[in-house]
Amino acid sequence: MNNEELALRMVIEDLELGKWVQNGFTISHWDGRTIFVIGGIPGEIVDIKIDKTTKQEWFGTVIRFKQTKSNRISVDCPSFLSCGGCSYRHISYQEELTIKKSLLADRFPKWKDSLSLISGSENHYRNNVQWKQKKKEVGFYKKGSHDIDSRTSQFCLTVDPRLLLSNLSKEIQNKIKHTKDILLRLSHSGISIYDREETEFFLKETIIRIPKGGFSQINQFLLIPWLDKICSYLSTNEMVAELFCGSGMIGLYAQKHIEKLIGLESHPLSIKFANLNASANNLKQYSYICTNLYKDPIPVSLMKVSTWIVNPPRSGLSKDINASIGKSQCKKLIYSSCNAATLQRDLIELETFGFQIEDLVLVDFFPRTHHFEVLALLVRD
C-alpha cells in the first residue's frame, strides 16, 4: 500500500480549523501539510477523514466534533457532505452570503465596501436537475465517487419539489425508467426531459425556447433579477454584441434597450434556436452567428459595436477575445461570470486596454453551495 492509499485511510484527530477559503473549505495545517476541510467552521476542533491528496495539499471531511462554534446550526439535509452538492448547510444562509462576499472581495479588494448582492430563496431554486441512475438507484453521485446517494432523488432542498423522483408523473417515470442520466427541467407546460425535448418558458412577455440538451441558468427565482440588473446597465437604442449567447436569452429579454444585436455562439443548435427566438419575439434587427469563439477571430462587423455582453463558461474569455474587445470600439462591457477566478484574470487583462470596473455584483444563483455568479460592468472612455 503506497503513501497515498495510506493517507486516504487516515483520520486526523483534534484538528483546529482556520479561516474560510474558496470552494466552501476551511484551511488547516497538520504535520507540515496544508489541509482543506469541508463541513467545519473556523475555530472548531474536529476529527477529519482524508478524502483526497496531492503533493502539496490534502482534502478532508469533518467526521466528529470536539469543540464547536456557537454559529453552527442543525443540518437540514441527511445527505449533506455525502452528495457533495452543498457546502454551507451547517451555518445560516446570511452568514454564507457574508462569506461569499468576503471571498469575492479578496479577489477585488478595491470593491470590498462597494460589492452589491442579488439573492433570493435558499431552497427549492433549481429549475433543472441531472439525476444519475445505476442498478435501479437514482440520485446524485456521492462526493468523490460514482456511487449513487439515492436519498437525494427523494429529498433535496436545492431542487424544486416537482422534479423529485416521487413527485414525477407516471408518464415521465416510464420514459426515464432505463435512462442512465435523467435530465429534467421545468417548462411553462410542465416538465421536459431536456436531453430529448425542447424547453419553452416565458420571461415576463419574452418567449424563450431552448433546444434539447441546451443550457439555461438554474435559479428560477433569480433569473429575472439578474436580467433586470443587466438591463439597468443599458440605455436605449443600444447596438450590442453578445458573446456566448446560447439561445439568446439575455439579448431577447433586454430587447426594449436594444436597436440592433449580433450574437455569437459555438453550438449550431443554440444558434438555430436563437434565431427562432428572435423571430418568435418579432426582433428582425437581431442576428446570430455560429462561430468557435475560442478558435475563430471575432467578425469584423462587431468591431464597431460600442456595447458588448459576454457570458462565457467557467474557462472565461481567451487572450484573443480580450484583445479583440480591446481593439474594438467597445465602450461598455457587461460580463456575467460563473467563475470569479477567471473573471479576475480577464479583468486584469482588460484593464490594460483602458477598461475600469464601474459595478460589481455577486448574484447567488447557487445557495448553500460554494458556487456563485458575478456580474461586472466595465467602461472606458
Q: Which of 203, 118, 124, 122 lies closest to 160 in space, CA to CA? A: 124
Does 137 carry a binding-site annotation? no
d(CA 12, CA 174): 46
14 conformational bin, left if phi > 0, alpha if psi -120 to 50, beta if neither: left
Cβ 193 vs Cβ 149: under 8 Å: no
Identity of the residue numbered 379? V
C-alpha cell at 85: 452538492
Give the integer Cα–Cα distance in Å for 327 and 307: 13
Please give the Cα distance from 332 to 345 (Å, whole number). Answer: 18
Closest CA to 11 of 46, 40, 55, 41: 46
Q: DSSP state, 104?
A: H
Is 71 annotated as contributing to ligand binding? no
* CA gap 28, 14 in Å, rounded: 11
Is 244 annotated as a binding-site member? yes
Which DSSP letter does residue 215 get? -
d(CA 130, CA 120): 22
Q: What is the spatial distance between Cα 90 and Cα 86, in angstroms, rounded to a whole number?
A: 10
> Residue 217 annotated as binding?
yes
3-class SS of residue 124: coil
Catalytic residue among 86, 156, 245, 338: 338
338 is catalytic: yes
Residue with cell 464547536: 68
Q: How many residues does the chain have?
A: 381
CA distance between the termini of the chain: 62
Which residues are known catalytic residues?
Answer: 338
Provide the annotated binding site for S-adenosyl-L-methionine: 217, 244, 265, 311
